[in-house]
Amino acid sequence: MKKGILIAFGELFLKSEGVRKLFQRRLINNLRFFLEKEKIEFKIHSSRERIFIETEEIKKASKIIKRTFGIAWFSESFYFLNLKELIRFINKNYEEYIGKGESFAIRMKKDREIIDKIAKLIDRKVNLDRPKRELFIEQRDKKYFLYFKKVKGAGGLPVSSSGKVLSLISGGIDSPVAAFLAAKRGAENVWLHFHSFPLVSNASIEKTKELAQVFKKYQPNLKIYFIPFQKAQLEIKAKAPAKYRVLLYRRLMLKIAEKIAEKENCNALVTGESLGQVSSQTLPNIKITEQAVKIPVLRPLIGFDKEEIIKLGQKIGTFNISIKPQEDCCTLFVPKHQTAQGRLDIVKELEKKIDKSVLRGLTTFFA
């Protein structure tokens, strides 16, 4: 008999056999990375439909498994090499799991004979509809798992199973949550942070580094680009009317991001935009911003309101870092009144006035 944690997949079974095997290997690699990082002693046993983590450090391992993407549910479990071992264990230990006066039910697919045989060993009342305790038994490759409670997993797909994305991280509340949702769908993140240091403090840089430490609980490794943006902002401020500055900032950021994405083999950009949250995030302005690049721009938060974003940020551990004060590079030169209905022809004319050396200078940071 072995003790550990039984893991069940979610969407992996919607995939073809070849893709499922690939995704399962990614999940196992991610689990192995996180468990080794925390110096947990373990062995991994894998079958077509389940992963079993053999370990004595159940609580510590469960915290890691709960936040690992690609897992539908998991449970503290016992693993038996044959039916005889399973029956002997239940006969000897059921009183520890089912108290006197408590009803129980055995949940096992197909094999009625085994269910009846085990039920006769347990001196408790059977209640199949509303039992106080449940015994789950699974037979896999002539071996057996026994567990008592399923814990909901993080869901989604294993990180890196859906390719790579470049996430624009401001240091605020929204962008790390958007990056988290992209990772949940299996996308490996590379981060890009624009800052205005030394015109302002390096607070946004330090916050981004703190956010990265939280994010690395969900993704094994994380690469970050820090791009100074102050010269570009000063150039735009000098040559563009106030109401168009934010659109020009954002278009330039996406152009730079597209070049980095190409270098990093990222298939899309990710932003923390939410429809209508601010004037630059209206549909007309989103369209103008997006037309600056050819690469797809993903917006995981597009239908979220601020309260929903805050709750998710609190849940994943980024919110308290995000609300620390900083001088954001996007808001440093932002006027009080911005246009919510920008015009693309005007934006393009303004961009002609902006010194192209600004973009060339910025690209030297990642050439």
Residue 51's beta-bridge partner residues? 7, 46
Give 187 or 197, the one with higher predicted confidence: 187
pLDDT, tens only, 253-272: 999 999 999 999 999 999 99
In sequence order, which ranges of the chain are alpha helices (DSSP H)? 17-37, 58-66, 83-97, 112-119, 174-184, 203-215, 230-239, 245-264, 283-290, 306-316, 319-322, 344-353, 356-363
- Work out the number of other CB atoms within 10 angstroms of the CB of residue 23: 22
Q: Identify the DSSP state of 111.
A: -
- DSSP code per residue over 196-252: -TTTS-SHHHHHHHHHHHHHTTTSS--EEEEEE-HHHHHHHHHHS-GGGHHHHHHHH
Lowest mean pLDDT among 16-25, 125-134, 188-197: 16-25
Q: What is the DSSP letter of 72?
A: E
Least confident of 121-130, 145-154, 275-284, 288-297: 275-284
- Tens-digit pLDDT profile for residues 48-93: 789 999 999 999 999 999 999 999 999 999 999 999 999 999 999 9
Percent of the chain with pLDDT over 90: 69
Please state, in angstroms and rounded to a whole number, the distance separating the CA atoms of residues 336 and 128: 64
Q: What are phi and psi of 217, to 5 degrees?
A: -75, -20
At 336, the pLDDT band (50, 70, 90 cuts) reads low
CA 226 remoteness from chain centre = 22
For the cut 60, the answer to whether the pLDDT of residue 367 exceeds it is: no
**Average pLDDT of the chain to the nearest whole number:** 90
168, 138 contact by CB (below 8 A): no
- CB-based contacts of 335: which residues, under 8 Å, 6+ apart? 242, 243, 245
- Choose among 68, 26, 12, 54: nearest CA to 143: 54
Please give the Cα distance from 321 to 236 (Å, whole number): 30
198 cis-preceded (ω within 30 degrees of 0)? yes
Measured between alpha carbons, how far is residue 112 from residues 106, 107, 108, 133, 269 in Å?
Answer: 10, 10, 8, 19, 53
Nearest Cα neighbor of 46 from 175, 140, 180 is 140
What is the three-class DSSP state of 4?
strand
Residues 14/61, Cβ–Cβ less than 8 Å? no
CATH classification of 2-154, choosing from 3.30.2130.30, 3.30.300.30, 3.50.50.60, 3.90.180.10?
Answer: 3.30.2130.30
Q: Look at residue 328 and tell me whether its pLDDT is greater than 90.
A: no
Cα 91 to Cα 86: distance, rounded to the nearest angstrom: 9
Tell me the mean pLDDT in the region 161-189: 96
Q: What share of the chain is helix, strand, coil (3-state, %, to 5)?
A: 45, 20, 35
- Residue 220 pLDDT more than 80? yes
**Cα 301 from chain centre:** 13
Q: Does residue 295 have a pLDDT over 60?
A: yes
Q: Which residue has the higher pLDDT, 48 or 307?
A: 307
The single residue listed with the structure tokens 């709750």 is 311
> Distances from the Cα of 117 to the Cαs of 80, 122, 129, 137, in angstroms?
17, 10, 20, 13
Beta bridge partners of residue 155, listed in sequence order: 71
Options 3.40.50.620, 3.40.50.300, 3.90.950.10, 3.90.1010.10; CATH of 164-363 = 3.40.50.620
Residue type present at position 99? G
Closest by alpha carbon to 144, among 93, 85, 74, 73?
85
In the chain, where the domains are located:
2-154, 164-363
